[in-house]
Structure 1
C-alpha cells in the first residue's frame, strides 16, 4: 500500500470533449519531459490530424463501454472506498448510490468536456439534496478563495477539492508555494466564517447563501 485512502473514478470522460484550445495551441509535451503513460503515444501524429495529442491518447486508452456495472466490478478487486467523480445531477446521484459508491465528487471536468455545462457550484445543491446524507458529497472545480469553500459547505458539500491554485503555487514556489496557498484559503475561510457569525463548520448552513434560484423564487412572491 502507498497510503491511498480511496479511489476516485472519473466517469465524465468515456469520450474526450473537443478541446479547441489544445488543437489551436498544438498541445504536446516539452521534449525534456516524459510522462510515462504517454510513452506509447506518438504525440507527433497530432500534426497530421485535426485533434490534440491528449485527445488521441485518450481515444486509445479509454474503454467507451464504461458503465455503472464497472463500479460494481471495481469493488470486487479493491477494499478501498470508491468515489465517483463527475456527477452533476440527482439522477446520477441515485445511480451512484444504487451501485455502491462510497462518495460523490460533483465535477464537470473543469468545464472542458462540454460547452455550456453548468458550474459545479450550481449543481451541488441538487446532488446533496438527493444524497440525503447517505454518502459524502464533495465539490470539484472553481474553488479559488476561502469564500468559495464557505459557499460549497453551505450548499451541502462535505468538503472541496482544489486543483489549479495548488498547481499554480507548486509551479511558482514548490512545496512552500502549496503550503502558502492552502494557508491563504484557510485564513479566508476562517475570516468568512467570523464575518458570517459561524464559530464552527457545523454552524455553516443553507441560510448563509443566496442563489439565483432563491432570487427567482422571491421575485415571484
Structure 2
C-alpha cells in the first residue's frame, strides 16, 4: 500500500461493519468529520527554492520525549476491535519507529501492558536514542467526578512510565453517533473491556468501572490535577482562543488542538482552520499539537508551517492496525515520515523549525 487512503480501504474491507462504523463515524451529520480533511485541501504550499539545505531533520522533542518525527499517535479507543493484539501491537510499532504514543484511557489493553510491549519492542532504542529509558508513552485521561478514581488512574499511568497526561476536556457528555445507534453498537464484544478502568477504588477487585462524562468538570478540577501529579499536563479539545489563554493561566504545559475527530460537537471548525488563532493566543509559551484530518505529509507540513509543534493521527493508526497489525501501523508511520521528508525538502526547509506561515496560502 502506497498511501494512507489505501490503508483506509483495506481496513474498511477487513473490520466488521458495525465496528468500522464506530471507528469511522462522527457526530450527527458528520460535518466536522468531513471538514477536518477538506480544510487541508483549501490550503496550498508556496515553496522556497535554492536554499542549499541538507537532508531534512525531522526529529522533535516534547516534554522530555525525543521523537523521530513530528507525527505522534493521538489517543484512540478499543484497538482490539480491529486486531487481536490491540494496543500491544500499536505500542510496538510506536517504539520501533520512535513515535510518541498517547495511550487511551479507553484502551482494551491496560497501560502497564502497553508500556511493557513498547519496552520490549524498543530493544534498547527509545525514540531513536539508544538507552533512552522509558518509551515515549503518554496517557490520555478523562477527569472522573470521583477524584479518588482519577488519582488512581494517574498513579497507574505514572507507575507504567507515562511521560505526560493528555486530558481530554471536550466531553462533558458523549457525542451523538447515529451510525452506532442505527447499528445497535452499545457495548464492547464479550472478552473486551476498558482495561484501565478495572479494579479501581470503590468497586470489586476485578470490576470494570464505566468511564463517566460529567458537565461538572471545570478549571478547578484542572487545578487539582496540577497539584496531584508532577507529569506535564496537555489539554486536548481546546478550540476557543480564550480557553487557550485560560490554560496558560492555569499552568497547563501544552495543548492538543482537537475537535475529537468530529465525534463530539458537530459543525465546529476544522482544527487546521483554528490553528493560527490558537498559536497566536499562546504566543509561543506552550507547544500546540494539531489533531484532526491529517492524511498526507503535506498536511503535516502545512500544520507545522502555521505554528504547530507536532501533529497527531488517530484513525490512520487503526487503519494500519486493521490491515496488518504491528507491521501495518509501522508502515503508516513510515509512509507519513517519507512524505514529510520529501515535502520539507521541496519547500526548501531543513527541519520543521524552518517552516513559516508565509509558505501556506488559502485557495481562493
TM-score scaled by length of structure 1: 0.83
Find the counterpart in structure 1 of residue 359 from structure 2.
208
1:117 aligns with 2:265: no
What displacement does 1:76 show?
Answer: 1.1
1:33 aligns with 2:184: no
1:18 aligns with 2:158: no
After superposing on structure 2, the runs of 4+ consecutive aligned residues of structure 1 that deviate more than 4 Å are: 37-40
State the superposition RMSD in angstroms: 1.8
1:158 aligns with 2:316: no
Q: Deviations over 1:67-112 (max 9, x none)?
A: 0111110011110010011011211101111111000010001111
What displacement does 1:183 show?
Answer: 0.7
Contact 2:174–2:213 under 8 Å retained in 1: no
What displacement does 1:3 show?
Answer: 1.8
2:299 corresponds to which of 148, 153, 169: 148
Contact 1:11–1:84 under 8 Å retained in 2: yes
What secondary structure sits across from 1:74 in the alignment?
Answer: helix
Q: Extract unaligned runs of 5+ from structure 2.
A: 1-158, 200-209
What secondary structure sits across from 1:210 in the alignment?
Answer: strand
Indicate how the Cα distance of structure 1 residues 133 and 38 shifts in structure 2: closer, same or farther if over 3 A, else same: closer
Q: d(CA) in 2 for partners of 1:39 and 1:182? A: 31
What displacement does 1:62 show?
Answer: 2.1
Structure with higher helix content: 1
Find the counterpart in structure 1 of residue 138 from structure 2.
none
Q: d(CA) in 2 for partners of 1:175 and 1:154? A: 31
What displacement does 1:170 show?
Answer: 1.2
What displacement does 1:195 show?
Answer: 1.4
What displacement does 1:168 show?
Answer: 1.1
What displacement does 1:32 show?
Answer: 4.4
Structure scoring higher RCO (CA < 8 A, sep ≥ 6) equals 2
2:167 corresponds to which of 1, 6, 9: 9
Find the counterpart in structure 2 of residue 52 from structure 1.
none
Q: How many residues are paired up?
A: 195
Q: d(CA) in 2 for partners of 1:131 and 1:192? A: 27
